Amino acid sequence: MTITSSDLEVKTLGACRIASPLAVRLGARRTSQHYVDEGDRVLFDDTLTMVTERGVPVDQLPGFEPAGPRKKIYFDPSKIRVGIVTCGGLCPGLNDVIRALVIQLHRHYGARRIVGFRNGYRGFIAKYGDPVMELNPEAVAGIDERGGTILGTSRGRQDPEEIVDCLERMDVNVVFVIGGDGSMRGASQIAQIALKRDDNIAVVGIPKTIDNDIPFIDHSFGFQTAFGQAAESLRSARVEARSAPNGIGLVKVMGRHSGFIACSAALAKGDADFVLIPEVQFDLDGTGGLLAALRQRVQQRGHAVVVVAEGAGQEYLADGPDSVDASGNVRLRDIGSLLRKRIIEDFAAAGVDLNMRYFDPSYLIRSVPADPYDSMFCSRLAHAAVHAAMAGRTEVVVGRWHGRFVHLPMQLICAGRSQVSPDGDLWLSVLEATGQPQRFTSTPVPAR
C-alpha cells in the first residue's frame, strides 16, 4: 500500500485561538529525542531505503501529525459537553481508558460536563431508552481494577444520522469512541455527517482490538495483557501434557484474522511445540502434515503443546453457508474442536496411546483487568485523545507509531488489517522457538 502525505492529513474544526490550561507547562519544554513538537512530523517510514530510493528531502516524506498538548486549543473547556462510548467486544483496559479520559478532562482541562453513553452505539438511539451515565473522577474511581466496561457495550450498526441527532439534542461537542475497526468506520461516518451539518463536534477514536490487527499503530491496548494470559494457559497445557504419557495440550486463543496473540504467547513462555495462525495455511494429512509431525514429536519427547488461533484452518470447516454476527463479521467455526477430533483419530489409527487436554481461555482472557503495562498505555492513549479533541481534531484516531504518539485519519486505519507476515521476523522467531517447519505440507519440502 502506497502512502502519500495527503493520506495522513488530519481534519480539524477550525483555528485554535483559546489559550490552553496546559500552556504554562509547555512554555519551557524543548524538542528532544523524547518530545516531538506539534510542528514536527513523525515519518511514516523512517528506513534509509525509503529515503534513498525516493531521492526526496526528508521534510517531503509522508509523516504523521504528532499527538500531545497544544498551547492553543479550539474548544473552551468550561463550555463543552463530552461523550464517551465503548463499542464491540470486551478487551482488557476499557475501564482504564474511560477513567483516564475523565480525569484528564476534569482535572487538567477543567471540563465538567462529561457523560457516558451506555451499551455502544445503541446508547445514542432513542428507541432503546438507555440512560446516559454522568462521569466525574468520583464515578470512575477504582474502575481500572475491574475488567469489562462500566458503560457496557454492544455490536451492530446504528444509524449515524440518528447518532448525530442525539449529539445535537444534548449539545455534545466532543465524542470519544473506544472500539475496533467496525466502530471506527461508524465513528468516521458520524464525523462526516457532523461536518456536513456544520456541527462543531470533534470525533476522536481510541483503537481497541484484542487481536492487535489494526494497521498503522505499533500495537493496541489490551494486547499485552491478552497474550500474557494466553501464555499462562500454555504453561498449564505444558504441565498437563508432561504429567501423562503421550500427553498433548491443545490451546485455542483469540485471533480471527491475525495470529499475534498465538505467536506472542508462544514466545513468552516457550511452551509451544506448534503454532497455527490464520496467515499461514497448513496441511493436516500426509507425511509433511501437522498430524504426522505432532505424532513424531510426542513419540520423541513424550508430550507436546499446540496453540491455534481461532481463525486458523477455516478452510477445513467451510461446509455450509456462512453466518454473521451483529457487526457483520463472519462467525468462525471451531477449529479447536476439529483439531482435537482429528488428533484423537490419528493417534488411534496409528495405534498410539494418547492423553489429550483441550483449553479454550478466550473469554477469560478478554474479560480480565489490564496488566500494569496496558494500564499505563491506556492512560497515555487517553491523554493523547483528549489533547487531540481539545485542539479541534476530528475523524481522527490516536495511536503509537515507531514509539511516538500520533494522530491518524480514521479512514486510514479502516483501509486494511495488520497481520503476521509469513516472511517477517515475528514468524521466524516462532519457527526458531518451536522447531516447526516453515509450513506444514502434505509432502515435505526437501531441505536445500
3-state secondary structure 373-424: HHHHHHHHHHHHHHHHHHCCEECEEEEEECCEEEEEEHHHHCCCCCCCCCCC
State the catalytic residue, choosing from 96, 211, 271, 273. 211
Q: What is the pLDDT of residues 218-239, one digit of tens each?
A: 999 999 999 999 999 999 999 9
Report the distance separating Cα 63 and Cα 45, nearest Å: 8
In 3-state terms, what secondary structure has residue 114? strand
Question: What letter would DSSP give residue 130?
Answer: P
CB contact at 8 A, 387 and 67 = yes
Which of 303, 292, 261 minimizes the C-alpha distance to 278?
261
Using 50, 70 and 90 to split pLDDT, how confident is the model at 448?
A: very low
Q: Which residues contact 147 (CB under 8 A, 6 or more apart)?
A: 90, 92, 95, 367, 368, 369
| Strand partners of residue 409 | 396
Is residue 283 flagged as an active site residue? Answer: no
Which has more pLDDT, 271 or 198?
198
With the CA atoms of 126, 183, 168 and 131 taken in that order, what torsion angle do they form, in degrees rounded to the nearest 10? 40
Which of 51, 62, 60, 57 minimizes the C-alpha distance to 1?
62
What is the pTM (predicted TM-score) of this model? 0.91
Q: What is the DSSP string of 156-182?
A: S---HHHHHHHHHHTT--EEEEEE-HH
CB contact at 8 A, 166 and 125 = yes
Query: Residue with C-alpha cell 463536534?
Result: 201
Using 50, 70 and 90 to split pLDDT, how confident is the model at 405?
A: very high
User: Is pLDDT of 185 > 90?
Assistant: yes
For residue 334, give the C-alpha cell.
471451531
In the chain, the domains with their CATH numbers are 5-220+378-413 (3.40.50.450), 224-367+422-434 (3.40.50.460)
Q: What is the pLDDT of residues 5-27, one digit of tens each?
A: 888 899 999 999 999 998 877 77
Count other C-beta atoms under 10 Å from residue 272's C-beta: 28
Predicted local confidence at residue 316, as pLDDT: 92
CB contact at 8 A, 93 and 125 = no
Report the distance separating Cα 278 and Cα 281, nearest Å: 7
Give the chain's mean pLDDT.
91
